[in-house]
Structure 1
Amino acid sequence: MKKYILISCFILMFSSACNDDLLDTEPETSIPESIAFSTPAKILAQTNNLYKQLQNQNFYGGRFIVFNEQRADQFGQNDGNAATGSAVWNQNVASTNDFVNNVWAIGYTAINASNILISKMNETTIISKELAKNYIAEAKFIRAFCYFSLIQTYAKPYNQDKISLGLPLRLTPITTSGHNDLARSSVEMVYTQILKDLDEAETDLPVSYTTPLLNTSRAKKCTAIALKTRVLLVQNNFEKVITESKKIVSSTLPFQYTEGNLTQKLEANYTAIFGGSYTGTEAVFSIPFANSTTETPSAQYSLAYNYLAQPIIFLAAAGIVSDPALNSGTDARSGLIGISAANQKVLKKFSVTTAPFRDYVPVIRYAEILLNYAEAAANTNDLETSKALLKAVRNRSDPNYVFPEIDIATKESLIATIQKERDIELLGEGFRLMDLQRKVQTLPAKKGSIGTAPLVLPTSSNYIWPIPSGEIATNNLMVPNP
């Protein structure tokens, strides 16, 4: 069989009766392996394709972030149609659900493409060894990013049961059919691989690229470090969060990272993060959309459509939107809260409300790094550093705000205040579910126009998504979630 290499995104669709190979690498849009890596330009195209897969509208290019917000407690649901994720919001998705299958398939397609590129770059003589190491590092970053997204979605939280079943840990390329059977590794083993990939990526990634757009849209050293702070925070490995954070956060105000021609820091104007060039100093890693309708999500999949144009989901009145920071008018973040025609509060971070929807998707912002660092510092009793980092984030959007002493006086109160700041600062960017689950907290009940979604206990089977029916049908060693 002639081997083929994927050159553009594709979605593998499944049903419970599907017999297709999950990792089929001969889609309609493919080219022979013999020429896919035959020139420097083609190798670069294969590397760029890894990022294009993250851009998929079912993944970070659109609905995956919405799914995480629907499963958490900050948004109500307006639309009861299954195509808008009503079952996701209602906490009752089945293993046959298209969304459940699509996210898994897209993540593993990107992982396999990363494995292929790593293998080919270890053999290539077409480009320099240094450039090949750069591309391998980018592939390892993408692989780690995908595994981290999938392990949080389909397996128990690390702090709940790290020896429980995680994911099939696929680390070698599959270019022919018949190689699907692979048992699930433990949650801990998957996290170990994620951090190994990120450590190795950090070593070989460049400090920066030649343009602000490339610095925003491709992995660089500080991108890998930043993602490590997120992964380690999920593990409650606070000492290592601090170690990694110190690599990219200066010890004193203004907190920033400068290396060569690259500077990462909070943007002075909060609203500029979500408009304008999208490539400012705060954008550590984003999903961009070029001036092409082929690279933009369709209506129901875009963030702007879900949050604002329709809106499919709206800000729950009892959620963080009731906090004074989002109502005071003195905090710049309150300017990104609007009122819909139905008199519901809605999020305006993503504001391109007519097709094509080309809002860049912020995946890692410098503000998150500071808040990760602040929480880790508080948990290790370095309260002064924690307060300084927290205040930097708040005072960027509200320069005159002073935290009440009761909110920051003790370790416990400070950690709670940092969590509230995360909920305000990162609202709608897909973090709330992660924060609830890493602390093994109940997913609260919530109200929407389509009724009330029940609370979900950490011990409930629907605390995580089920293993997709497509994977069960094609992997004879797959064990479903209980």
Structure 2
Amino acid sequence: MKYIKTYIAIFSVLLFSSCNDFLEVDQTGKSTIPVFFSDMDGVRAALPGAYSSVYKYYGEEFVLYPDVAADMLDLNAVGDNSMIAQYNYDSNPDQEITAVGGIWTDAYEALVNVNNILYYYPSLVEAYPKSEDELRIIKAEALFLRALIHFDLVRVYAQPYNYTTDASHIGIPVLLKTPGSDDDVPRSTVKETYTQILKDLKESETLFADNLSGESTYYASKNAVYGLLARTYLYMENWAEAVQYSSLAIASTPLSEGQEYLDMFLKVPTKDESLFKLNGKLKNPEIIKFYNLQSPSGYASDKLMGLLNENPDDIRFQLLELNTLNNLSGTLKYVKKDMPTAEKYYNIIVLRTSEMYLIRAEANNNLNIIDVAIDDIKTLLARNYQKDVGDISISENTKAEVARLIDKERAKELAFEGHRLYDLTRTKQDMIRNDNTTSSVKEVLYPSHKFILPIPQKEMDVNTAMIQNEGY
């Protein structure tokens, strides 16, 4: 991956500086990276930088894309909108600076930074045996981040795990070490990619040992590993493991209720239902501009509003704000109102307990344990409708009906959090928007090559082992 390897030494990410010529940095990095990782201060500085590099791609196109390309969000087509190509399913490999190239570049840049930590781990343990416990946790965090980045990339640039019966279709380049300048790294299969994700997560789980949570959910922990394992097994349709790990996550972190639930998004609480979130202190991500309340680029579609309107007491209405000038309902999940600039804090929640209930419900439903699946949905509805669980009645009682109910609840609960397109594709649904959508594309039928982004052309040009996605 010659294009990717140019990020081999981007300490602009690790040290929060910048550089204009990555190829130039490559030569400098060959000497500076070993020096940087030669002591504990270096690796301690590298870890926050690795988290920051993950925040970078989450705060830009990565979280936006799955909602923009799905059916629960409409786009304001007036003015300059960087996501318009994905909204209209008009992505092409030459779009280097928007979603196509932006997600690829930023995510692999983050991956290189994480791999540097893992590469120098053995020499640091040897040099600093008294710091072995600290280094063990650092390695566990880095392995979690590496698994997360690979999982994110394979969802964007490869068809879902169940696209073929054995997941043998083409995936992404699995990067476990920084390639040399002459190395061309091919794409692994989706099965191979998921196998590595699970390997990293299981090792991370072991290394965390009894350390269930770190200083805060801004850091990876065993609870975060449980959450990502639950989500990964859900996508693999390994229902029993999905139940196991979602249950562990639920046991570790209770649901947020009432105002605490709203404050999870609207404020910066010290404790909430998040299993892992990215620290947005003093950040100004693109996602904030996209969802600004005065003139949002993206807003709730009539299809989403129709689902929410089924119960006017739904607490999630309070996470939307209607702009009376344009009659658009924008999300408050990222826009912190009335927050002083000096306290600007745009956190991005990656994993949270509400999703774990939905994962467990879906997995149990597919295991034909329908009553247990319904119980989990009742728990979420009780929280969202601000009622007691005993007051919640669900008429759906067949596997197919409960599956549709879970899909509907995922659409409402996880709206604007970067899930919807993947929920459609992994469950093999068509993408069908409401008739008054502002997009030129009202439906995309499953399966379709359009459900994944192309590999950036710059990568294709310099990496002879790279294969372009079908249809591009």
TM-score (norm 2): 0.86
State the match for 2:237 in structure 1: 236
Aligned equivalent of 1:115 = 115
- Equivalence map 1:137-176=2 (5 Å): 137-161=140-164, 162-174=167-179
Return the match for 1:322 from 296, 299, 306: 306
Secondary structure of residue in 1 paired with 2:458: helix
Counterpart contact for 2:258–2:386, Cα < 8 Å: no
Alignment of 1:175-324 (within 5 A): 177-179=181-183, 181-205=184-208, 207-208=211-212, 214-249=215-250, 256-257=251-252, 263-269=253-259, 270-290=261-281, 292=282, 295-297=283-285, 301-303=286-288, 305-306=290-291, 308-317=293-302, 319-323=303-307
| Secondary structure of the structure 1 residue equivalent to 2:171 | strand
| Residue 329 (structure 1) shift | 3.8
The runs of 5 or more residues in structure 1 that have no matched partner are: 12-18, 250-255, 258-262
Structure 2: gaps (5+ residues): 1-6
Amino acid at match of 2:51: Y
* 1:477 aligns to 2:460 (yes or no): no
Q: Aligned letter for 2:329?
A: K
CA distance in structure 2 between the partners assigned to 1:4 and 1:425 by the alignment:
38
What is the SS of the residue equivalent to 2:386?
coil
Instruction: Tell me: CA distance 1:326–1:120, structure 2 relative to 1, closer, same or farther (3 Å).
Output: farther
Residue 378 (structure 1) aligns with? 365
| Superposed counterparts of 1:20-35, under 5 Å | 26=26, 32-35=32-35
1:75-125 alpha-carbon deviations (Å, 9 max, x no partner)? 111135564311111111111112211111111111122222111002212
Alpha-carbon separation, structure 2, partners of 1:328 and 1:313:
23
Relative to structure 1, is the Cα distance of residues 164 and 447 closer, same or farther in structure 2, using a 3 angstrom cutoff?
Answer: same
Contact 1:330–1:398 (CA<8 Å) still a contact in 2? Answer: yes
Between Structure 1 and Structure 2, which shows a larger proportion of helix residues?
2
Choose between structure 1 and 2: higher strand proportion: 1
Cα distance in structure 2, aligned partners of 1:208 and 1:137: 12
| Displacement after TM superposition at 1:446 (Å) | 5.0
Give distance in 1, aligned partners of 2:330 and 2:81. Answer: 20
> Could you tell me how far 1:138 is from its partner in structure 2?
1.2
Q: Could you tell me how far 1:177 is from its partner in structure 2?
A: 2.7
Partner of 1:406: 395
Q: In the alignment, which of 416, 422, 425 is matched to residue 437 of structure 1?
A: 425
Structure 2: distance between partners of 1:480 and 1:147: 18
Residue 25 of structure 1: CA displacement? 5.9
- The correspondence for 1:342, drawn from 326, 336, 347, is 326
Provide, for residues 123-159 of structure 1, a one-character-per-residue CA deviation record: whole Å limited to 9, x for no partner. Answer: 2123622222221221111111111111111111111
Provide closer, same or farther for how the CA distance between residues 159 and 4 of structure 1 changes in structure 2, counting only shifts above 3 A.
closer
Equivalent AA in structure 2 for residue 374 of structure 1? A
**Structure 1's 450 and 248: CA in aligned 2 closer, same or farther, altered over 3 A?**
closer
Rounded Cα–Cα distance in structure 1 between residues aligned with 2:109 and 2:435: 36
Contact kept, 8 Å, 2:267 with 2:336, in 1: the verdict is no
* Contact 1:184–1:478 (8 Å) recurs in 2: yes
The separation in 2 between residues aligned to 1:78 and 1:231, in whole angstroms, is 33
Distance 1:303 1:412 in 2: 38
Q: Distance in 2 between matches of 1:143 and 1:172?
A: 11
Identical residues among aligned pairs (%): 25
Match of 2:64 in 1: 66
Give the alignment's TM-score, normalised by structure 1.
Answer: 0.85
**Counterpart Cα distance in 2 of 1:454 and 1:460:** 14
Q: What's the offset of the Cα at 1:28?
A: 9.0
Whichever residue aligns with residue 394 of structure 1, its letter is L
1:4 Cα deviation after fit: 7.5
What displacement does 1:313 show?
A: 1.2
The corresponding residue for 2:83 is 85
Contact 2:77 2:84 in 1 (8 A): yes
- 1:63 CA drift (Å): 2.8
Aligned to 2:335: 351
1:224-262 deviation per Cα after TM superposition (whole angstroms, max 9, x unaligned): 11001111111111111012223233xxxxxx32xxxxx
Q: Residue type matched to 1:345 in 2?
A: S
Match for residue 4 of structure 2?
none
Quote the offset at 1:182 in angstroms. 1.3
